[in-house]
Structure 1
Amino acid sequence: MSYKRLIPMVLSLFILLFPLYFFLIKISSKDFSYILPFILLVTYFLYCFNFIRKEFIKIKADRQTGILEKTLVLCDYNVLYTRNEKYGAMPPIPTATFLSYDNDEYIHLSGDFSKVDMHPGKKYRVKFYKESGLLIDIEYNKSKSKKLKLNVKSKNQLKNKYYNFAFKHIDTEHSNKTSNRYISFLQVLIFTIIGALIFGVLYIIYLVFNFIQAKILMSEGYIMLIQPDFVGWLFIIFGFTIFILITFEGYDDYWGFITKVYNKLGFKRSLIIISTVFFMLLSQLFNICTIISDDGIELKKGYFMQSKTYGWSSVNKASVYYSSLKTRSTTNKLKLHYVLQLSDGNSIDLKKSKMFWNSILKVDNILKQKHIYIDKGILSFKNSTILLSNENIDFDSGARILSEIMVYQAPSYLSNSDYSEN
């Protein structure tokens, strides 16, 4: 393995830092529902980090001794018979010509190839001395990609053929830069289409999941349903896992033990196992939610834990405010919060519900009827335009709702009554 081949793993580790940081923030804010996924991701992160560290040490040691390890395609295999004037016939010398999978370079090696059967057009994982061309070790490449079906006797018959095109293109030594750029563009395009299809299908499943959950769990008297944030992350992680599963075919043994397990199971079995785990977690998350009703608040904790119910008397106060989310743009994004503070120290942000804009006035009226203190933040007209620009609601309706639940400062040419309900 070369430093270049470790790049996908390093990038994957970097991507994992984002959900880890997100889960850590949630746990620090006493949302302990993220502890289990946080532990799983930390374990996976440490495993990959340790694997990369060992590979770096191994590659550094091999380079100091002039040892290379590459995935090569066999072009030709021969046994040389020579004679010496003094000693007569010499032992036969097996030689092989390979095409490098990294830079389309032809490599000539000699040594003991008896460990494997030599078939032209097939991939092998080869370890050898760079300067002398002496073979150290050779084994079959365990990728599930189909063998290149070529009846070749020389390296020239292998030129201009494609092997597993979606992941690696075997070009001639004299291919021009325009051709290489074209191939790279097609590879990027293929991966983009695959990723778009995966996440497009998962987004549709996510919408169906939300619809079914609302239809089944919401009955008469129920006002609002709040999902845990991890539901969306579960779909993202599943989509990312499927994408990585597809790229295993091109990245060979990058992932150490994980790829060895994948090679034994194959793509279909791996997909079935991952999908089974995904739908098992999804079925458990189906019954993990918060329901706001006329009678109070119900916290559903799944099928294996007892639900917890709060009456409206258990709500100490409500806080309505907005926070600033810094972005690269000159205008900061604003995020609205409507938080219920419960007597046991827990808090519920109603803004996390997808039903917020349609149902918040009902909840707000119940709090007023129960004489529960509402700490209303002050919102200027300018900030309301920024806040509502990121919401799925028209400005007039949103401004009318904001004027009810917050202290809304309308511009001088408008009065607050313009955005009040009759």
Structure 2
Amino acid sequence: MSNTHADTVLFVRDTMLPQQEPPASTVGALGWAKANLFSGWFNTTLTILSALFILYLLSGLVPWFASPTWYAASLTECREILAGHEGACWGVIRERWLQLMFGFYPSELYWRPVLALVLLFVAVAPVLFADYVPSKLLGFTALYPFIAVWLLWGGTIWAPVMALLGFVVAFFVFRYASKQISPALALIAGVIAALLWWMVITPAITPDLSRLLPIGIEAVQSRQFGGFMLSITIGVTAIMCSLPIGILLALGRQSDLVLVKAICVGFIEFIRGVPLITLLFVASTLLNIFMPPGTNFDIILRVMIMVTLFASAYMAEVIRGGLAALPKGQYEGADSLGLDYWQSQRLIIMPQALKISIPGIVSTFIGVFKDTTLVSIISMFDPLGLSNAIRADTAWNGVYWELFIFIGAVFFIFCFSMSRYSMYLERKLQTGHR
């Protein structure tokens, strides 16, 4: 019996034990904390002291932020609700947040800037997310600037239509002239044709068209713009226009044509050597001196032009850095394929330079958007300018932190979104070195 039992005993395992979970102290949040926060007596001491300091800060900040003053109608009422305790007066945000968003824009027309903002996201979608949005929307992207101007300022529809036709004229002139002369001269011819259309033909035709076909919406004056609507309008315009202008300036600075190079270098160095606030003062006060008498040059348009030129100069240097980072072999490869200058720039050089320059480009965009707050210096009611106007009201005289925290939070949302998109684009294009 014992021999039979001995014959059935196996000395080699014929089954595998089930896999066990790793120790809880080495994985997950607990494992990370043990490895990074409590890996030794020094790190443990720093972790405890830091936790106590954070708890001390939260003990003061949480009650301040959680104060029950949302429905207060004045600073005095906030103080009565708090009964001597420290706390924020959020009633000013509840009562004035629409003013911080839209400035003095007519309340019955709020739907127009809201619609313009929604259409902005639709217009930029095929540019920012080309892999997920059909390219057919690029046609709407090209039309959006004219639609947005009409929605925000109102008036006759023929003004933006004539502005759009100016670009169409420039395109056809460039296309025809490029077959006869060099692309650079053809581009100059297209620009001249567009300027003639806008300055000569448009003023002569638009009034008659408005009388024959009075299509339009209620006009809104630029002095009624304000708040984040004003900042977004100036910032988006500067961001959209500064990139192509910056590309042209960067290429012009590296041009072999002495005159073109001198003009681009002079423009870039002059703009980068002058503070933005000085340019805004020029746009606000001095520019009208050089205009013909009776010329009505919109103040917001003047500011847009100055901010765009300022951003273009910095954008040109960012892109020039990307061009300088490319190895010489890329240029030689383009030459070996028989490509001319513009073909090599469009197909080989510029895509790589822009890919390298993504962090600097987005950083410039963020800086431009934040710099729109400087328009408060020239008496334009951006969010910071409106905060001063709100505090001038006797009901809210003395409120500071609540307004600035709200304004800072909205700016953070926009700037953080641009930063996250930059990181997404870098990962998508694999700009980092492996």
TM superposition score category, shorter chain reference: under 0.3
TM-score normalised over the length of structure 1: 0.24
Which of the two has greater helix per residue? 2
- How does the TM-score come out when normalised to structure 2? 0.24
Q: Which has the higher strand share?
A: 1
Q: Greater relative contact order: 1 or 2 (C-alpha under 8 angstroms, separation 6 or more)?
A: 2
